[in-house]
Amino acid sequence: MADTAVAYAPGTVVSADGTTIGYRRLGDGPGLVLVSGGYLAAEHYMELAQALSGTFTVYVLDRRGRGRSGPPGEKYCMARECEDLGALLAETGTRLVFGHSSGGLIALQAALTTPGISRIAVFEPALSMYGAFDLSWIPRFEREMDRDDIAAAMVTFVKGVKAERLSAALPRWLLKPALSWYFRSQRDVHGPGEKSVPDLIPLQRYDVRLFAEMAGSEGFAGLRAQALLMDGVRTPPPLHRAVEALQATLPHAVRVTMDGVGHEAPLNGRGAPERVAAELRTFFTGGS
């Protein structure tokens, strides 16, 4: 999934708590920040960034624990993620933000507290409020992470959120060894200065903590930025329910449901980053 062939300029900013936050910059034009989902890092969104770079100066944020960024820290929470994004926005003067999955959740929350964000686009944000997801699986996930049983924890995660149809349908006894084999096969697959997928997977724990923290949130009715809500036809029902709930909260938002793709649409190799980029160009340049 990593794409180190795309040329970019590295940079860093310092967040409110003193943590260094890295990013990749490419292109020319109005600033646009991309915020990754799950355990994914900047390198997994470089095809999308490249597709946007003819229209925008694209800043691909490396969230904590990724790339040049510092560790999550003992006081990790949604506020830290919003401060990190805010530091990059302040440094670059950027007013446009795109977030994928949990990155979409971060982008939405940041837009509530950052008046400078004028437009926000999210692809299947991981909304734990609105009752879109059952979170009863989190204690088991945490226990498996505590045992460093990463494959078991990820089985619990994908079955808990039901974000992938095939994974949710397969029995645990079959899915766990398949994931273990995949993680082993990816151990040495990464570019210079990047982490492999197995080394990034433990960061999923921090995203799950965001889900738990935000489950009691009142949602985003106070959002003032113009919004684009995106999802894919192939995405399982929980994510569709989340987008539908957000659309009901933001009745003036633009909704785009893309044929032939699922949750991985913005990613290198696995999705349709060029198609996602086309929708983002239309929205962020004021065409919607």
Write the pLDDT tens digit of every residue in 171-200. Answer: 888 889 988 998 889 888 888 888 888 899
Domain extent at residue 194: 138-201
> Which CATH number characterizes residue 238's domain?
3.40.50.1820
Beta carbons within 10 angstroms of residue 90's beta carbon: 12
1 in any annotated domain: no
Burial of 30 (0-12, 13-18, 19+ CB in 10 A): middle
Q: What is the DSSP letter of 234?
A: T
Are 24 and 107 in the same domain? yes
Same-domain status, 184 and 245: no
Same domain, 168 and 246: no
Instruction: Please report whether residue 3 resides in a domain.
Output: no
Question: Which pLDDT tens digit goes with each residue over 125-152?
Answer: 988 887 777 889 999 999 999 999 999 9
Residues 64 and 195 in one domain: no
Structure tokens at 273: 């980053």
Domain boundary among 166, 182, 201: 201
Parallel, antiparallel, or unpaired for β 20-27 and 9-14? Answer: antiparallel
Q: What is the pLDDT of residues 54-86, one digit of tens each?
A: 999 999 999 999 999 999 999 999 999 999 999
For residue 155, being part of any structural domain is answered with yes
One domain for residues 237 and 275: yes
How far, in whole angstroms, is CA 6 from its chain's centroid? 20
Residue with tokens 């990034």: 200
Model confidence band, residue 163 (pLDDT cutoffs 50, 70, 90)? low
Backbone φ and ψ for 270, nearest 5 degrees, come out as: -95, -15
Residue 257 corresponds to which tokens in the numbers above? Answer: 């449901």
In a domain, 21, yes or no: yes
Do residues 35 and 114 both lie within one domain? yes
- Please tell me whether residues 129 and 253 are part of one structural domain: yes
What is the rounded average pLDDT of the residues 251-269? 93
